[in-house]
């Protein structure tokens, strides 16, 4: 070590001795009771309110069979995108195909009987004109022809019904969407009375997210906007917080508000629509609706000025006599990770300790200084700390 460096370290050591050689703790020890104090003022802040929500597709259609039978073919997979009219299931159609053939034969038979009855009536009409038969025989032939026509209409209706039942064996999608669960597989016996649907087709191009607002919140919103229709129209874009805590990329808009308040919960159901181009949202999912709103008179303080004990929050309020009072405050559950928005417990004009609260006790008397003064003292303390490090190096150099 050079002589000049040794002399420099000696000077630093002398300076540290003159300063008392104090060490840094959790709160920098300034050797006095000076604490940085801030006077509370109102400022503009973006607040947000969250509501639990359930996610539904724009159209969730339960697919149920109209006829009974065994599933003979499964044409789709879970999660597959389908179009309207696409074949989903095939139900055993042997019996229904036979019924169609039987009904078709009945139609042909009825047509033949009607033709015979018509010929008979036409022939009797000629005989009646030639006074060969009486009006009774003519009317009987006419009645038989009408009965044959009715029998044909009945047979044709049965034929249409049989064809309809046969078509029900081929279950198609009534809408475009995504296939849900498939509780039944090939060989399963299904019917119109089956407890579970064959599947659910969800149109998830746009997702409908349902949440509830209290009656008071609805009234406040309606009064402020001058009407429910205007309130919905002017409602800010909302965000969707997903189950993993992340915010969905696309904002949504409130589309409808239920006209009936639930007497049990005192809340009203609302719906927000979100685009779903990547099909990230799934019908049946859950999340939270985040409604932003700006407050021009919010009380915002840094988080390091707040002591947290379990789920409660406390600050040190400085009285007129400069004694601190350990006081509970309520914070908005949403924060930016750096500041808290105080909803109760503080008012404009209050003074709070913002630095070094871990070394304070309730009722302690302090000497308030500004935050700028506190930072200046903190810099001086850091310089002293660096000098202490140099002193250790000096002692090490001399083998002490």
Reading the block at residue 268, the tokens are 């009203």
Phi/psi for 281 (5° steps) reads -80, 140
Residues of the chain with pLDDT under 70: 1-31, 334, 336, 384-400
Rounded to whole angstroms, the Cα distance separating 300 from 335 reads 10
* Backbone conformation region of residue 226, classed left if phi is above 0, alpha if psi is from -120 to 50, else beta: left
Nearest to 198 by CA among 182, 177, 187: 182
Half-sphere exposure of 116 (CA within 13 A, CB side): 10
12-54: pLDDT as tens digits: 433 433 333 333 333 554 557 889 999 998 887 777 788 999 9
Q: Which domains does the chain have, with CATH numbers?
A: 25-40+306-378 (2.40.420.20), 49-58+203-293 (2.40.30.170), 65-190 (2.40.50.100)
Rounded to whole angstroms, the Cα distance separating 175 from 181 reads 16
| Cα separations in angstroms, 12 against 33, 229, 378, 380 | 26, 74, 19, 14
Reading the block at residue 53, the tokens are 């929500």
- Predicted pLDDT at 162: 95
- Predicted pLDDT at 387: 54
Neighbours of 221 (CB within 10 A): 19
Are residues 318 and 366 in contact, defined by beta-carbon separation less than 8 angstroms? Answer: yes
């Amino acid at each position: 070590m050079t002589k000049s460096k040794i002399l420099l370290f000696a000077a630093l050591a002398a300076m540290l001795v003159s300063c008392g050689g104090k060490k840094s703790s959790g709160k920098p020890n300034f050797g006095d009771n000076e604490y940085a104090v801030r006077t509370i003022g109102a400022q503009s802040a973006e607040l947000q309110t969250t509501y639990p929500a359930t996610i539904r597709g724009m159209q969730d259609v339960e697919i149920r069979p109209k006829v009974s039978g065994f599933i003979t073919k499964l044409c789709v997979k879970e999660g597959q995108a389908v179009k309207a009219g696409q074949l989903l299931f095939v139900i055993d159609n042997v019996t229904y195909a036979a019924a169609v053939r039987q009904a078709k034969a009945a139609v042909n038979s009825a047509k033949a009987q009607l033709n015979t009855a018509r010929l008979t009536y036409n022939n009797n009409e000629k005989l009646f004109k030639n006074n060969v038969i009486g009006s009774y025989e003519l009317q009987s032939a006419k009645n038989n022809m009408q009965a044959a026509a009715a029998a044909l209409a009945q047979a044709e209706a049965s034929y249409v019904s049989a064809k309809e039942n046969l078509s029900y064996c081929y279950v198609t999608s009534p809408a475009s969407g995504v296939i849900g669960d498939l509780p039944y597989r090939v060989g399963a016996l299904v019917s119109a009375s089956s407890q579970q649907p064959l599947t659910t087709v969800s149109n998830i191009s746009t997702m409908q997210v349902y949440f509830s607002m209290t009656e008071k919140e609805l009234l406040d919103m309606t009064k402020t906007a001058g009407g429910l229709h205007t309130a919905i129209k002017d409602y800010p874009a909302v965000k969707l917080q997903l189950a993993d805590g992340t915010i969905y990329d696309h904002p949504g808009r409130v589309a409808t508000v239920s006209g009936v308040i639930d007497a049990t919960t005192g809340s009203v159901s609302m719906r927000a629509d979100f685009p779903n181009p990547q099909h990230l949202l799934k019908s049946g999912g859950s999340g939270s609706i985040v409604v932003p709103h700006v407050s021009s008179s919010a009380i915002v303080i840094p988080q390091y000025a707040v002591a947290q004990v379990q789920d409660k929050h406390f600050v040190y309020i400085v009285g007129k006599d400069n004694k601190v009072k350990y006081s509970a405050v309520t914070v908005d559950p949403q924060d930016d990770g750096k500041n808290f928005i105080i909803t109760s417990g503080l008012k404009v004009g209050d003074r709070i300790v913002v630095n070094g609260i871990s070394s304070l006790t309730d009722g302690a008397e302090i000497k308030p200084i500004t935050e700028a003064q506190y930072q200046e003292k903190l810099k001086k303390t850091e310089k002293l700390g660096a000098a202490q490090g140099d002193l250790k190096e000096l002692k090490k150099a001399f083998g002490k």
